[in-house]
Amino acid sequence: MRKKVTKAIFPVAGLGTRFLPATKAIPKEIMTLVDRPLIQYAIDEAREAGIKEFIFVTSRGKSALEDYFDHAPQLEQELRKKDKKDLMQVLKSTYMDSGAIAYIRQHRALGLGHAVHCARRLIANEPFAVILPDDVIDGEQGCLKQMVDAYEETGGCMVAAMEVPPEKASSYGVLDVADDMGSLVSVKGMVEKPKAEEAPSNLAVIGRYILTPSVLRNLSKQDAGAGGEIQLTDAIAKEIGGEQGVYGFRFRGQRYDCGSKSGFLQATVAFGLARDELRDDLMAYLDELAATRKAAE
């Protein structure tokens, strides 16, 4: 039997400079889509996939993130007093089991690969997931759950993958496909942020990974790559041609790049429209906006 994936790393050390000035005072991962912080979406997706241990790789100024996952007795007392059962439910849905979360500091911003490497002692010798909370994926079934199911068949390393417009490929890790089996592809190469003319395809890596512990060993010896940073992509690429394969997984669902303002706004609208209590108002506003724009043309 394959060992189950029960640990996930959440690299959350980034400064979030694209969202200044907000990120002067709050971690990017606490910014909300409607009323839930970005990190909550990532945690919910991980839970659905069977993750039991949540490892946050943080940095200075991220204490709001730790507070967010703490229990809130005062708030609870207040809600109980006012008999706000629904809100109590909402509050409790954010609670985590005692001891389920660990925080590790990444002392220097040396790249995603380095951030993952910082968590190596908590992973030890088992397969693990990595979730980048900037990539919010909305689907009937969570992206990581889909991957865990596929991984039960394949083993090895697996990255979430999605076709992007060719001119955008240089913003991503890009896969060189050996065998395209539909939702699953086997990979013969991976390049982090390739120059447009050097991209092996337009199948991009999206921020969900299931990795073997050997990737952590590769990271110990990994030189800086694209952008002068230690890249996770490069350490995964070293597994290609090894005993276990490297796979790309085309997930079912809509991905929002919440690391960009435009992606964040799109996700806000989409998640707003998905809420029964908001849909009609929001839709009426969007219709009105579209009509006004059309009339002005």
In whole angstroms, give the CA distance from residue 97 to residue 86.
21
From candidates 9, 162, 205, 246, binder to ligand G1P by CB under 6 A: 205
Q: Which of residues 256-285 bind ligand G1P (CB under 6 A)?
A: 259
In whole angstroms, give the CA distance from residue 31 to residue 191.
30
Q: Which is nearer to ligand G1P, 49 or 235 (CB)?
A: 235
The residue assigned the tokens 């995603």 is 112
Q: Which is nearer to ligand G1P, 194 or 272 (CB)?
A: 194
Binding part of the chain for ligand G1P, among 43-51, 61-69, 141-149, 201-209 by CB under 6 A, reads: 201-209
In whole angstroms, give the CA distance from residue 258 to residue 262.
8
What are the residues facing 205 on neighbouring strands?
161
Binding part of the chain for ligand G1P, among 23-31, 33-41, 205-213, 271-279 by CB under 6 A, reads: 205-213
Q: Which of residues 105-124 bind ligand G1P (CB under 6 A)?
A: 112
Q: Is 281 exposed, middle or buried (0-12, 13-18, 19+ CB in 10 A)?
A: exposed
Q: Which of residues 209-228 bind ligand G1P (CB under 6 A)?
A: none
Decide if residue 192 touches ligand G1P (CB under 6 A). Answer: yes
Binding part of the chain for ligand G1P, among 81-89, 116-124, 203-211, 283-291 by CB under 6 A, reads: 203-211
The residue assigned the tokens 């707003």 is 272
The site string for ligand G1P over 14-43 (x = CB under 6 A, - otherwise) reads: ------------------------------
Decide if residue 172 touches ligand G1P (CB under 6 A). Answer: yes
In whole angstroms, give the CA distance from residue 130 to residue 54.
10
The residue number with the shortest CB distance to ligand G1P is: 173
Q: Which is nearer to ligand G1P, 79 or 251 (CB)?
A: 251
CB of 251 to ligand G1P, least distance (A): 13
Q: Which is nearer to ligand G1P, 210 or 232 (CB)?
A: 232
Binding part of the chain for ligand G1P, among 23-31, 38-46, 202-210, 275-283 by CB under 6 A, reads: 202-210
Decide if residue 253 touches ligand G1P (CB under 6 A). Answer: no
The residue ranges of DSSP E strands in the chain, in sequence order, are: 7-11, 32-33, 36-37, 53-58, 101-105, 128-131, 135-138, 157-163, 173-180, 184-192, 203-211, 246-250, 254-257
In whole angstroms, give the CA distance from residue 211 to residue 151.
10
Q: Is 107 exposed, middle or buried (0-12, 13-18, 19+ CB in 10 A)?
A: exposed
CB of 275 to ligand G1P, least distance (A): 26
Q: Is 54 exposed, middle or buried (0-12, 13-18, 19+ CB in 10 A)?
A: buried
Q: Which is nearer to ligand G1P, 135 or 212 (CB)?
A: 135
**Alpha carbon 155 to its chain's center:** 21
The residue assigned the tokens 């039997």 is 1
Per CB under 6 A, residues contacting ligand G1P are: 112, 132, 135, 172-173, 192, 204-207, 232-233, 259
